Amino acid sequence: MSITLIIFWFLSFMAIMSALMVVFAKNPVHSVLYLIITFFAIAGHYLLLSAQFLAAVHIIVYAGAIMVLFLYVIMMLNLNKETEPHKKPIIKFVAVVAAGLLMLTLVAAFKGAEVKVIASADASIGSVESLGKVLFKEFLLPFEVSSILFLAAMVGAVYLSKKDLH
Amino acid sequence: MEPLLIKAIIAIVVFAITLLIATYSTYAERKVAAVMQDRVGPNRAGPFGLLQPLADAVKMFMKEEIIPSVSNKWLFIAGPCIAMLTACMTGVVIPWGGPITLGAQKFTLQVADLNIGILYLFGVVSMGVYGIMIGGWASNNKFSLIGAIRASSQMISYEIAMGLAIIALVMTTGTLSLNEIVVQQDEGLANIVIQPLGFLIFIVCAFAETNRAPFDLPECETELIGGYHTEYSSMKLGFYLFAEYINMFISSAVIVCFYFGGYNFPFQHELQNLLGLTENALSIIQVVVMFGKVFFFIFFFMWVRWTIPRFRYDQLMNLGWKVLLPLALANIFITGLVMWGMGKI
């Protein structure tokens, strides 16, 4: 087994295990920390695909910014056993059925899917330079439109958080 | 010698020097404070008190270690470890001197010349907040939690302005590799001339990111006892304090690389020709010059700490969001306009 393959299996194991632990951990803060480990494992996968830029940005944005905010909010809420919301049995049952249906759909969608292996493994494909050229030449309009989407989301969040509007 | 072996040696040397400088920064800090307050400072352990850091380390190790029974034990231990780990990881991408030729091979005095060096730096810095947050939360103490929350909100706020200041720098240099930025400053002007506003924003944010005064609200004694490390004792506390000094050293090195020419100094090639120095000799002089610059900025950090009083929390947030962020955005626009006017884009 080559070293890349060993790293791949290790990262995959880590990603799936910690993703499962996000769901099964009793303490919400532990869940957030497991999710951070998952993000690191996925960033490792990006590195294996020689997409350094994507790996770095993934760490900076998800692990470095978004998860800090998650952790921040969960620490402030101080969730524990007493404040845990108790759902009715019927809601739990409906949730299980819905999740099962979702899994069925996913399995059905991926069952017949063709796995294509792209032979031309160009090492510079994930570099900042080639990514920037693709984003700002071929996909300039979608790129800018998505940034407007973020701006709209930000304005909406500011509007909602203003208390004395009415 | 094998290239990998040489890289390993460079990595170990950089690690050792980082720890040594961080150790003696604690001594320097107390001496600088003493000079500014017209005192003598530590002078008992060894000549001029030079063994004081050693005595401090022994004291830290010998103290009783307390893990609060209501704390989250593993996370309580993980907190200072993460703080120390992220502090040590940042030194990897900094170029310490010009290339050195050994036998037939040429080596750069840098652990790893990543082509995404700036992003790596930024990613590791953004991980640093977890050490403080996890430690503060795991202590299960109100003051620790408030300290941790203050620290994280401060670091997130100032990271944005810092990132935008770097974007203007990346626009003018056109690269994300630290080594290339330093080499460009040998050929052209130092970046401080090109990006004065960017430098100002960056250095203010560097103070906030390292939790140094006047931005040391996370461990503000008069309000929070000790902030996020209230419950820590012995060497775990030592790790948190030590990580701060490592961060200070690394941010000084980064400031020098980004804005003050890194290891280059004016008229270095003229000097080389005049004295008939070899490439290797010049590289060694460059390392000395680099450390000279870094020591100046470490001194600058201390100078500011003992001069300016601590901000109030709302002042801190106003400065970050209402002053530095718009300034950094304006800096990007001005940089873009000037570059467009000069026909560079």
Q: Chain B contacts of A64, Cβ < 8 Å?
A: 122-123, 126-127, 129, 159
B148 to chain A: which residues are within 8 Å by CB? 75
Mark yes or no for CB contact B130/A36 under 8 Å. yes
Number of residues that make up chain B: 345
Q: Measured between alpha carbons, how far is B345 from B343 in angstroms, rounded to an integer?
A: 6
In chain A, which residue's Cα lies nearest the Cα of B117? A56
| pLDDT band, residue B138 (cuts 50/70/90) | confident
Q: pLDDT of B193-226, one tens digit each?
A: 888 888 999 999 988 888 887 887 777 677 777 7
- Contact flag A72-B123 (C-beta cutoff 8 Å): no
Strands (E) located in chain B: 97-102, 105-109
Per-residue pLDDT of B3-13, as tens digits, reads 778 888 888 88
pLDDT per position as a tens digit, B94-132: 888 777 777 777 777 777 777 788 888 888 888 888 888
pLDDT for residue A108 is more than 70: yes
Q: Are B5 and B109 in contact (CB under 8 A)?
A: no
Taking the C-alpha atoms of residue B27 and residue B325, their distance in angstroms, rounded to an integer, is 35
Among B95, B93, B97, which residue's Cα sits nearest to residue B121?
B93
Chain B residue at shortest CA distance from A63: B127
CB B155 within 8 A of CB B83: no
List, for residues B67-96, the tens digit of each pLDDT value.
887 777 888 888 888 888 988 888 888 888
Whole-number pLDDT of residue B1: 60
CB nearest A60 (choices: B75, B119, B133): B119
pLDDT digits (tens, 9 = 90+) for A4-60: 888 899 999 999 999 999 988 888 888 888 999 999 999 999 888 878 888 888 888
d(CA A41, CA A32): 14
Name the A residues in 51-70 with CB < 8 Å from any B CB: 52-53, 56-57, 59-60, 63-65, 68-69
- According to the model, what pLDDT value does residue B281 have? 81
Across the interface, do B130 and A57 touch by the CB < 8 Å criterion? Answer: no
Neighboring chain B residues of A57 at a CB cutoff of 8 Å: 119
Q: What are the residue ranges of helices labelled H in chain A?
A: 3-24, 28-48, 52-58, 67-77, 89-111, 128-133, 140-161
Which whole number is the average pLDDT over B21-43? 87
- Tell me what percent of the residues of chain B surpass a pLDDT of 90: 6
The pLDDT mean for chain B works out to: 84
The span from the CA of B105 to the CA of A156, in Å, is 58
Q: Do B126 and A60 make contact, defined as CB atoms within 8 angstroms?
A: yes
Q: Do A128 and B115 touch (CB under 8 A)?
A: yes
Task: Please state whether B144 falls in left (phi above 0), alpha (psi between -120 and 50) or beta.
Answer: alpha
| pLDDT given for residue A83 in this prediction | 63
Calpha distance B172→B335 (Å, rounded): 8
Tens-place pLDDT, residues B314-337: 888 888 888 989 999 999 999 989
Using N-to-C axis directions, what is the helix angle for B117-138 and B234-259, rounded to 10°?
A: 160
Q: Rounded to the nearest 5°, which phi and psi values hold at B316?
A: -60, -45
Residue B203's nearest CA partner among B260, B124, B264, B138 is: B260
Percent of chain B, pLDDT > 70? 98
What single DSSP character describes residue B312?
P
Higher pLDDT, A115 or B196: B196
**Secondary structure letter of residue B116 according to DSSP:** T
Closest Cβ–Cβ partner in A52, A53, A68 for B156: A68
**pLDDT 10s digits, A132-149:** 888 888 888 998 999 999
